[in-house]
């Protein structure tokens, strides 16, 4: 009897636990809307689950009803006129490559794809200055994107070496006698062969005075960090031209990146019919294919609106108090709160053009310039802060918007999945083959593509950030006023060549150092 009493006493709590467990399991089934964020790849902060409302609703409503004339469209898509400048990379009296090298030069490059790209160009230039043999640069793992892609994963190394064979000596790996010179070796202690304090934008003389003696003593020198470590001014013409030769001729993406890029460009030019499925054999579907249809034009929009950019800008993006707190916490975690913009108000930042354009704002810019809802638009971006909810307004304005995922099958994207540098390389390649390129905010991708497209005389729209910031602050502005101001403010910002000024990057402004007047 006692035994039965004990069992029944335990059975009551057990039954209650079972019922409670079933309730927890079945509750999401009956009320799924409360649990939607957990069923998707969601941002980590609760604020980003709140769908942001359009911040410029009157303009958006007018933009959705816009009508553009055929004349506006033809002017918009017209290629840049000949501006009288040509690529000019050959030196008239360039010295021949010395037979004996001073030693091996290693560089360790951090940052994303385009920052590393510029570092590679500078590394070749420094090797030339020092008469050193360049070891294929080491690309550091990006702390934000955690991408471990190497130089050879991204760029065609044999093409790189061949194009520069008359300029500098390059090796893929160090010989056995220097195999000890690794990143791990320099991370564990102070080493005589490591140059740790190369100043930003150092002169050629600095390298001759500080790095050449190390090469002469040890036969090797490793520079880390190296990003932005060579001046843009007061260098010999042959060094400047060499930097551009690396950037615009030697750095070519690996074959599978080019093949995927060609497939995406072809599908943008010749969209498949509704009944056609994406083929997994993109090697057959490139621009080499003879397609009898008339090719369509397309715009590439580089939308750098990731959490990193949003937080660093210290601007308000309409997500309410929760979003502000989340971005403030992120700034504290990543930069310990040391963000220059955070001392200004949102209005001050916008009026100075220091806030990145949101997807809604870049859409309104394009609509005001005359792009209609039949425009084919390719979205080049990695991760958009706020996800699809943040992009929905842009998609509403431009329903024919595409990206890598919508244009290519998962089988085609298998080699680039989860690799930020390779994803960026595909976007760069498509950006170089577009009719028009526009970036939502300044940055390394913007600067790199603007310079490369200037070199090739291709149309590139550079948003007038200060003007747009002031226009978007004006909540009473009409669509016609907004459109007129945008058109007038961007007449001379569509790829017109601008000569480089002192301290400006040669990779963004290649003329006159790397271009000659015809």
Tell me, yes or no, whether 163 and 262 share the same domain. no
77 with 186, same domain? no
Question: Residues 6 or more apart from 408 whose CB is under 8 A from it?
Answer: 260, 263, 264, 278, 282
**Do both 471 and 511 map to the same domain?**
yes
Q: Do residues 209 and 261 both lie within one domain?
A: no
Tell me the CATH number at 368: 3.40.50.11350
Q: Are 409 and 278 in contact (CB under 8 A)?
A: yes
CA distance 141 to 144: 9
Average pLDDT over residues 373-397: 91
DSSP for residue 48: G
- The pLDDT score that the predictor gives to residue 3 is 40
26 pLDDT higher than 80: no
292 has a pLDDT exceeding 90: no
Cβ 461 vs Cβ 496: under 8 Å: no
Clarify whether residues 167 and 299 are in a common domain. Answer: no
Radius of gyration of the chain (CA): 27
Inter-axis angle of helices 479-489 and 465-473, nearest 10? 170
* Same domain, residue pair 216 and 141: yes
Q: Is residue 188 part of a domain?
A: yes
Confidence of residue 51 (pLDDT cuts 50, 70, 90): low
Number of domains in the chain: 2
Domain contains 375: yes
pLDDT confidence of 279, banded at 50, 70, 90?
low
420 lies in the same domain as 504 = yes
* Contact predicate 502/445, CB 8 Å: no
Q: What is the pLDDT of residues 396-409, one digit of tens each?
A: 999 999 999 999 99
pLDDT value, residue 18: 42
What's the CA gap between 225 and 204, in Å, rounded? Answer: 17
Cβ-based neighbour number of residue 447 at 10 Å: 19
pLDDT of res. 61? 96
> According to the 3-state scheme, what is the secondary structure of 199-245?
CCCCCHHHHHHHCHHHHHHHCEEEECCCCCCCCCCCCCHHHHHHHHH
Average pLDDT over residues 7-21: 45
Range of the domain at 266: 57-64+72-83+256-271+295-305+356-517
Report the C-alpha gap between 121 and 275 in whole angstroms.
Answer: 46
90 lies in a domain? no
pLDDT at position 97 is 86
Establish if 2 belongs to a structural domain: no
Residue 149 belongs to some domain of the structure: yes
For residue 106, report the phi and psi dihedrals to the nearest 5 degrees. -110, 140
CATH of the domain at 225: 3.40.50
Q: What are phi and psi of 226, to 5 degrees?
A: -130, -10
Specify the pLDDT at position 5.
41
Q: Give the per-residue pLDDT at 37.
A: 35
Confidence at 331, pLDDT banded by 50, 70, 90? confident
Q: Are strands 376-380 and 298-302 parallel, antiparallel or unpaired?
A: parallel
Burial class (CB in 10 A: 0-12, 13-18, 19+), 218: middle
Residue 74 has pLDDT above 90, yes or no: no
**Which H or E run includes 46?**
none
389, 51 Cβ separation under 8 angstroms: yes
487 and 502 together in one domain: yes
Distances (CA, A) of 451 to 135, 243, 310, 421, 445: 26, 13, 25, 19, 10
The proportion of the chain whose per-residue pLDDT surpasses 70, expressed as a percent, equals 85
The pLDDT-based confidence of 42 (bands split at 50, 70, 90) is: very low
Considering the domain architecture, whether residues 455 and 496 belong to the same structural domain is answered as: yes
When the pLDDT of each residue in the chain is averaged and rounded to a whole number, the result is 87
Q: How much is the pLDDT for 35?
A: 40
DSSP 382: S
CB 106 within 8 A of CB 185: no
Q: Does 39 reside within a domain?
A: no
pLDDT at 317 over 60: yes
Does residue 342 belong to any structural domain of this protein? Answer: no
**Which pLDDT belongs to residue 178?**
97
Do 136 and 243 share a structural domain?
A: yes
281 confidence band (pLDDT: 50, 70, 90) = low
pLDDT at 283 over 70: no
Based on the fold, state whether residues 79 and 184 are members of the same structural domain: no
Say if 167 falls within a structural domain: yes
DSSP designation for 246: I
Are the C-beta atoms of residues 465 and 327 closer than 8 Å to each other?
Answer: no
Res. 36 pLDDT band, cuts 50 70 90 = very low
pTM: 0.86
Q: Judging by beta carbons within 10 Å of its beta carbon (0-12, 13-18, 19+), is residue 497 exposed, middle or buried?
A: middle
Does 263 lie in the same domain as 115? no
Is the N-terminal amide bond of 512 cis, ω within 30° of 0? yes
């Amino acid at each position: 009897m006692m035994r039965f009493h004990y069992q029944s006493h335990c059975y009551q709590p057990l039954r209650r636990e079972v019922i409670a467990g079933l309730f927890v399991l079945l509750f999401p089934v009956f009320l799924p809307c409360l649990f939607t964020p957990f069923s998707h790849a969601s941002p980590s902060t609760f604020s980003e689950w709140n769908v942001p409302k359009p911040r410029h609703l009157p303009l958006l409503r007018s933009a959705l009803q816009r009508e553009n004339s055929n004349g506006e469209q033809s002017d918009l898509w017209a290629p840049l006129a000949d501006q009288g400048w040509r690529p000019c990379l050959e030196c008239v009296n360039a010295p021949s490559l010395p037979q004996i090298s001073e030693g091996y030069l290693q560089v360790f490059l951090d940052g994303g794809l385009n920052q590393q790209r510029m570092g590679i160009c500078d590394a070749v230039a420094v090797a030339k200055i020092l008469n050193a043999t360049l070891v294929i640069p080491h690309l550091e793992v990006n702390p934000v994107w955690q991408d471990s892609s190497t130089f050879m994963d991204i760029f065609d190394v044999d093409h790189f070496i061949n194009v520069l064979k008359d300029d500098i000596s390059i090796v893929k790996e160090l010989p056995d006698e220097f195999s000890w010179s690794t990143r791990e070796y320099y991370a564990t202690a102070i080493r005589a062969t490591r140059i740790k304090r190369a100043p930003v934008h150092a002169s050629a003389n600095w390298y001759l005075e500080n790095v050449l003696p190390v090469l002469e003593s040890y036969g090797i020198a490793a520079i880390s960090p190296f990003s932005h470590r060579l001046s843009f001014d007061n260098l010999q013409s042959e060094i400047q031209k060499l930097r551009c030769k690396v950037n615009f001729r030697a750095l070519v993406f690996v074959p599978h990146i080019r093949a995927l890029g060609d497939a995406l460009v072809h599908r943008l030019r010749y969209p498949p019919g509704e009944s056609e499925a994406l083929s997994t054999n993109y090697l057959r579907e490139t621009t080499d294919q003879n397609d009898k249809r008339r090719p369509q034009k397309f715009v590439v929009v580089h939308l750098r609106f990731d959490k990193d950019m949003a937080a660093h800008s210290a601007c308000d993006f309409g997500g309410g108090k929760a979003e502000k707190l989340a971005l403030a916490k992120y700034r504290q975690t990543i930069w310990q709160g040391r963000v220059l913009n955070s001392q200004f108000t949102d209005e001050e930042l916008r009026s100075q053009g220091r806030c990145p354009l949101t997807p809604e704002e870049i859409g309104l810019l394009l609509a005001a310039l005359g792009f209609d809802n039949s425009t084919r638009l390719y979205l080049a971006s990695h991760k958009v802060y706020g996800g699809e909810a943040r992009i929905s307004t842009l998609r509403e304005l431009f329903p024919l918007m595409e990206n890598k995922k919508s244009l290519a099958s998962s089988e085609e994207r298998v080699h680039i999945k989860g690799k930020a540098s390779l994803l960026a390389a595909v976007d760069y390649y498509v950006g170089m083959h577009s009719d028009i390129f526009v970036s939502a905010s300044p940055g390394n991708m913007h600067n790199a593509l603007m310079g490369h497209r200037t070199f090739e005389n291709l149309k590139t729209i550079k948003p007038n950030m200060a003007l747009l910031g002031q226009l978007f602050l004006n909540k009473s502005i009409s669509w016609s006023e907004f459109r007129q101001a945008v058109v007038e403010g961007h007449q001379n910002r569509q790829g017109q060549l601008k000569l480089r000024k002192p301290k400006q990057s040669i990779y963004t402004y290649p003329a006159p150092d790397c271009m000659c007047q015809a």
